[in-house]
Amino acid sequence: MSDDVETAARSLERAKALPAPIKALLKPIKKLAFDMPRDAAALWVLERPEEDDVPYLDVLRFGACDFRETEHAHTLAAPVGWPRYMADDLDQAGVHLAFQNLFVWHFEDFPDEATAVKRRRRRRGRPDVIIIQTGGYPAMRHVFGFNIWSFLARENFGRRLGPLMRPMWRIMDPILRLIGRPAPWHPAEPGLSEFVTMLRRVWPGVPIEFWEMNDPVLEGFWRRDIAQRLVDECMPVLHDLDVPVVAAPPIPQTMALRGANGSNFNEAGSRAVGAHYAQHLLARYRHLARTAAERKAAGETHVAPAPPKPVTEPGEARLPEQPTPEAPSGEDYF
């Protein structure tokens, strides 16, 4: 994905270099078709509890954007979905969830050690459980390519249509089956085994699981043959690395639980998925949920305290005040 980020950066630099009069003429078009909303889901984290007597489980996920909750279009403005409800279910069981997601779109997009550990986990330290849930990017269908302009156009088109995206996707579905092209191919190896090996060297003893991604309901969005090829490539690697594979939640494959494109879950689907994953974590890793006092007594490495929390309602996510951007923001390219 680094090549994609560099291409986007060059594209933005060219747009910024436009003469001021042309920028003024293009600004309304930019606002209508190429605006970029704040990506709240990308910044969503749950910090470790401040109280010393609250047992918590610190989960680090390396995965794609399927954890967004979408009622209609897939949009950056969509909130976090199933991890939020997973946290609620764990709280009801007496375990606080500390959660962080680092975006990984495909098997060649895993962060290196400096990015994953020194920059993104420096304050949070060693996790209790690591989840890998990625790889499906090459199975996506598209028509206009994957670049910042097509991405932003789709973003604004879908967000502004709102509920009309559902009938629109019914029209797009057969069209994509006929003329849709798959995204660039990104194989499982060598990225997957190298990444798991790095994680085990940095955080020895931390359990690592591979969670299978949920198949989209609509056929037009997804090349199932390519998705199966990815599975066929990564499963032997995971077996050799002794990484458990967790099947997708056994919930109905129906549009009643999905957004307009049949991929991301809506609120009902996100609640069902969150409840399923909460039970899974409790069944396998409840013994790892310990209080800060218990961790200190066991001699665990000290972790710096969390930054001051913004005022939020109970249960809301707590956002870093100054997150480090992963890619050009697109806010000022016109």
Q: Residue 329's pLDDT is what?
A: 37
Q: Residue 148's pLDDT is what?
A: 76
> Whose CA is closest to 97, among 70, 129, 66?
129
Q: Residue 158's pLDDT is what?
A: 82
CA–CA separation, 36 and 148 (whole Å): 10
Which segments in the chain show pLDDT lower than 70? 1-12, 14-16, 18, 22-37, 301-334
Please give the model's pTM, rounded to 2 decimal places: 0.80
List beta partners, residue 174. none
Q: Where are the beta strands (DSSP E) in 26-153?
A: 45-46, 56-63, 96-103, 129-133, 141-142
CA–CA separation, 167 and 161 (whole Å): 10
The DSSP code sequence of 129-176 is EEEEE---GGGBEESS-SSHHHHHHHHHHHHHHGGGHHHHHHHHHHHH
Q: Residue 279's pLDDT is what?
A: 97
Check residue 126 and report its DSSP letter.
S
Condensed to tens digits (0 to 9), the pLDDT of residues 202-242 reads 999 999 999 999 889 998 889 999 999 999 999 999 999 99
Full set of structural domains in the chain with CATH:
1-33 (no CATH), 36-297 (3.40.50.1110)
Q: Residue 23's pLDDT is what?
A: 64
Q: Residue 202's pLDDT is what?
A: 93
CA–CA separation, 218 and 144 (whole Å): 19
Condensed to tens digits (0 to 9), the pLDDT of residues 46-83 reads 999 988 889 999 999 999 888 999 989 888 888 999 99
Q: Residue 128's pLDDT is what?
A: 96
Q: Residue 51's pLDDT is what?
A: 86
Alpha-carbon 266 to chain mean position: 15
List beta partners, residue 141. 182
Q: Token digits for 301?
A: 């490495």
